[in-house]
Structure 1
């Protein structure tokens, strides 16, 4: 995510903080100051917010580490003012695995709350917490109730929140992922509308959360629909069979001129049927300014790229293509280049399948 600060890495997962999180800390501190809090109280209040987000981070690692048990990587976790976002590589199609991954997050908060209760006992019932300013007496009591709130909030069956994903996984066991997602996403959008109207009277933050839930549910439903249309089809059915191959000694200027000759904006560089690299239109344009136009394209070509085989399932490669929306992927048949595939023609294939089905 852009404008995020990298703070570390654990278990192969990067941890980032979005810059708006820093604004949240400043706003919390300033609000405490305006309420007449002392300097130690302001420091404790800001420290409390940081501690809450450590709990949120542990929640997201609950998802990430459980996904790792099933061979699914989590590239990064981003902390935002409204919570955390774990970028899990893919959601497993097995609903039981999805259920375990999803439940693991709230369970972390349950464990934290239980530990705090065991330490505090009846002291978890707070008194004297004026104007939401945290004091030494209320720090851990407040942390207990925040974790309880996180559990309750996360299990609301509003897709794409944890509760919605739990519902989807449970429904998918009985009726399949496609129908389960449709039901869970529609319910999530219904809940989002409720949050929006509550936000009109109580808090603008609820309106922001409502928008996140509504559009998140819609996007997830569309993604699963796309996967359903791809299921049972192989790369050969969707790949582009007409593409441009150029020699590695072709000049940058000559390659740029070829852009005007047809519709293709990306080129494969090959010698004797062996792929050496790929060049995209943006690279050509930037190279015309920074390189000698008469230099060979081998000087600017991309030499690391993913390839697919004709027989691979489209549903299996889709997330790789989604991760690189501008990617251009050669397709091979027993090592021989037979086509290329990218996100645009994958989406066109989905549209065709949708039209044929409906």
Structure 2
């Protein structure tokens, strides 16, 4: 049975990880079919290139997810969309664990690199020798898989947050300057990098797709920079004092234990007032609407749980 979630449909499940594909992937498929990457003798190979790209991105994201599980994290979903893939991981909130999870994705591409290289050269030599079992289409396909994997690897390891290279840099900085400052520094560099990469692709290659991708990266880096400003600079308190100044001081992520961000970032669906959802334990100060069951995502570890769980409360019995 297909399962739909936020415009995506589940297409596979492995290692307790669900793989979703966003409907906008259809636009990429249509674009690639209309603008073939090579002169194949049979059009079916254009579809094979699309499926190959899909497989490489999926394996890359599984690298992130399985690495998170290996350090004690919880399996999350993988979502594939036109700008690549996203692995929602709940890894322990430590710089070492974070570094391993982030680096595991590009490591998959590193492993694939010699495999595609060897397969292409074997096929090319066999075709040149007149082997009837290897067609020119197969040689071109393997060459494209090698080049696509190489380009994805090189692009992903650019030190521009939120690309994997930028997140690796952030994890290394985390060891030295702490969690919040490392995110702020990496995000600032990411914004500069997104602008530079976008302009380079636009001027050099006239690529509108890459321009939109870099705009997305710029927005993501800016969001991370804002989150860094809300993160506490001190180590998270595992035990909360009973004499806390307000309910906000009693809240902690049920997964990593970090304090939630402070500020009026929640909008009431009833009266449209903006308020700090933690300060009032989920109650809107204007109309009294209850948001204790609203899902809250931790900016530190991306774990999502109902607001009540942030206060150590379980669901009420029916």
Q: Same fold (TM over 0.5)?
A: yes
The match for 1:193 among 192, 195, 202 is 195
In structure 2, what is the equivalent of residue 222 of structure 1? 226
In 2 relative to 1, CA 218–11 (structure 1 residues): closer, same or farther, beyond 3 Å? same
CA contact (8 A) 2:180 2:233 kept: no
CA contact (8 A) 1:159 1:213 kept: yes
In 2 relative to 1, CA 323–221 (structure 1 residues): closer, same or farther, beyond 3 Å? farther
In structure 2, what is the equivalent of residue 179 of structure 1? 181
Structure 1 segments of 4+ aligned residues over 4 angstroms from their partners: 35-38, 122-125, 229-233, 315-320, 327-333
Structure 1 residue 223 displacement after superposition: 2.5
In structure 1, what is the equivalent of residue 287 of structure 2? 263
In 2 relative to 1, CA 70–235 (structure 1 residues): closer, same or farther, beyond 3 Å? farther
Name structure 2 gaps, 5 residues minimum. 126-135, 250-282
In 2 relative to 1, CA 74–262 (structure 1 residues): closer, same or farther, beyond 3 Å? same
Structure 1 residue 199 displacement after superposition: 4.2
Structure 1 residue 323 displacement after superposition: 4.7
Secondary structure in structure 1 of the residue aligned to 2:137: coil
Tell me the alpha carbon deviations over residues 225-262 of structure 1, each in whole angstroms, 9 at most, x when there is no partner: 33326854538634279xxxxxxxxxxxxxxxxx9x97
Is it true that 1:110 corresponds to 2:122 in the alignment?
Answer: no
Measured in 1, the distance between the counterparts of 2:51 and 2:145 equals 11
Structure number, greater radius of gyration: 1
In 2 relative to 1, CA 117–232 (structure 1 residues): closer, same or farther, beyond 3 Å? closer
CA contact (8 A) 1:52 1:143 kept: yes
In structure 1, what is the equivalent of residue 20 of structure 2? 16
Tell me the alpha carbon deviations over residues 262-317 of structure 1, each in whole angstroms, 9 at most, x when there is no partner: 731129xxxxxxxxxx889xxxxxxxxxxxxxxxxxxxxxxxx99xxxxxxxx899
Secondary structure in structure 2 of the residue aligned to 1:228: coil
In 2 relative to 1, CA 235–206 (structure 1 residues): closer, same or farther, beyond 3 Å? farther
Relative to total residues, which structure has the larger strand share, 1 or 2?
1
1:191-340 paired onto structure 2 within 5 Å: 191-201=193-203, 202-228=206-232, 232=236, 234=240, 237=244, 238-239=246-247, 263-266=287-290, 323-324=305-306, 327-328=307-308, 331=311
Measured in 1, the distance between the counterparts of 2:214 and 2:228 equals 21
Structure 1 residue 135 displacement after superposition: 3.0
CA contact (8 A) 1:124 1:141 kept: no
Tell me the alpha carbon deviations over residues 203-240 of structure 1, each in whole angstroms, 9 at most, x when there is no partner: 11121111121111122233233332685453863427
In structure 2, what is the equivalent of residue 149 of structure 1? 151
CA contact (8 A) 1:192 1:210 kept: yes
Structure 1 residue 182 displacement after superposition: 1.4
In 2 relative to 1, CA 219–50 (structure 1 residues): closer, same or farther, beyond 3 Å? same
Is it true that 1:119 corresponds to 2:119 in the alignment?
Answer: yes
Give the stretch that moved more between structures: 220-229 or 155-164.
220-229
Structure 1 residue 159 displacement after superposition: 0.3
Alpha carbon RMSD of aligned pairs, Å? 3.8
The match for 2:162 among 160, 163, 168 is 160
Relative to total residues, which structure has the larger helix share, 1 or 2?
1
Is it true that 1:89 corresponds to 2:97 in the alignment?
Answer: no
Measured in 1, the distance between the counterparts of 2:248 and 2:179 equals 29
Secondary structure in structure 2 of the residue aligned to 1:65: helix
Measured in 2, the distance between the counterparts of 1:95 and 1:330 equals 23
In structure 2, what is the equivalent of residue 354 of structure 1? none
Secondary structure in structure 2 of the residue aligned to 1:57: helix
Measured in 1, the distance between the counterparts of 2:217 and 2:169 equals 15
Secondary structure in structure 2 of the residue aligned to 1:223: helix
Secondary structure in structure 1 of the residue aligned to 2:138: coil
Measured in 1, the distance between the counterparts of 2:83 and 2:7 equals 16
Measured in 2, the distance between the counterparts of 1:317 and 1:195 equals 27
With normalisation by structure 2, the TM-score equals 0.70
In 2 relative to 1, CA 157–135 (structure 1 residues): closer, same or farther, beyond 3 Å? same
CA contact (8 A) 1:74 1:86 kept: no
Secondary structure in structure 1 of the residue aligned to 2:158: coil
How many residues matched? 262
